[in-house]
Amino acid sequence: MGSHTDFRGNDAYNQELSQRRAESARRWLVRYEIPRTRIEAKGYGESVPKTVSAKWASKYNFLKEGDVLTEDYINKLATEEQKEAAHSINRRTEFKITAGPTSVTIKRTELKKPEQPQPNTTTPKTKQAPKEKNSLIQAAPVQHNLDTVKIHQWSSLYGKKKLKGVPIMQFDQRFVELGKVKKGEKRYYTYRYTNRGDTDLKISVITACECTTIDYSTKPIKPGQRGEFKITFDSTEKEESETIDIDIMLENSEPGNNRPIMETVRYKFDLVK
């Protein structure tokens, strides 16, 4: 599983970012019972620009099959929209089969819309669903001056100029030190954040290492509203001190492309045996 970035940002940051994204994708698959040992996650940063396939060439008429989306190539494109499209193609995670079957079959399921009730029919009342854990923390609406909102470098929105129509996840604290932890002990922490964007924020999935249990809600968080998620860190299987990444994938897409917005928070612990 290889993850790639566009060329914006310095090389070291892009290398680290791509590695974290590859590992995040691997953790997501592990959550669905794919053995971790079957997946190799590798970040390439900006070092391997995408070669345009027939699919991309048919979607964007300014690209030709076989073109390589290098920095020089993108900078010569005619418009900012074309450049942004090329950047979005370079930002990708690709799967390569290294052993076993030589192809993968993807099943497609068609979901039918429920039938609408006929006129003059009475719909029976249903019991109200129980409230979800980590319900939203209500807050007064805020004025959305997107030009003044600072985007953290651990957000995939970092460096984006057009933030209209996307949620902005602003954390009270992105990096937490849990201090000294004896092997076998657990630690708990609650990450709190505010949606500073102008549209509802929808969490798709939150992933971390096997040592971290995460309790979160997927209920939409409206602009100006606060939310939270709780983590439980179990040090039982740890052998040394570490810094752990927690990756948040939103249902919302980055502006100008279909890639989900990714956010990262971290915590650090010092293991005492």
Q: Where are the domains of the chain?
A: 2-94, 146-272
- The chain-wide mean pLDDT, for the chain, equals 83
Q: What is the pLDDT of residues 22-34, one digit of tens each?
A: 888 887 787 777 8
pLDDT score for 24: 81
> Does residue 248 surpass a pLDDT of 60?
yes
H-state helical runs in 32-70:
54-59
Confidence of residue 96 (pLDDT cuts 50, 70, 90): confident
> Does residue 181 surpass a pLDDT of 80?
yes
Dihedrals φ, ψ of 73, to 5°? Answer: -65, -50
Give the C-alpha separation, 188 to 177, whole Å. 11
> Does residue 189 surpass a pLDDT of 90?
yes
CB-based contact 57:64 (threshold 8 Å):
yes
pLDDT score for 98: 84
CB burial class (10 A; 0-12, 13-18, 19+) of residue 135?
A: exposed
Domain 146-272: assigned CATH number? 2.60.40.10
> Does residue 107 surpass a pLDDT of 50?
yes
CB-based contact 206:248 (threshold 8 Å):
yes
Distances from the Cα of 265 to the Cα of 9, 24, 48, 229, angstroms: 19, 12, 27, 11
First to last CA, the chain: 34
DSSP β-bridge partners for residue 250: 203
Give the C-alpha separation, 264 to 176, whole Å. 12
> Does residue 186 surpass a pLDDT of 80?
yes
Tokens representing 144 are 């959305």
CB-based contact 265:259 (threshold 8 Å):
no
The correct answer on CATH 3.30.1330.60 for the domain covering 2-94 is yes
Most confident of 27-41, 91-105, 166-180, 250-264: 166-180
> Does residue 119 surpass a pLDDT of 70?
no
Tokens representing 197 are 């964007």
pTM: 0.54
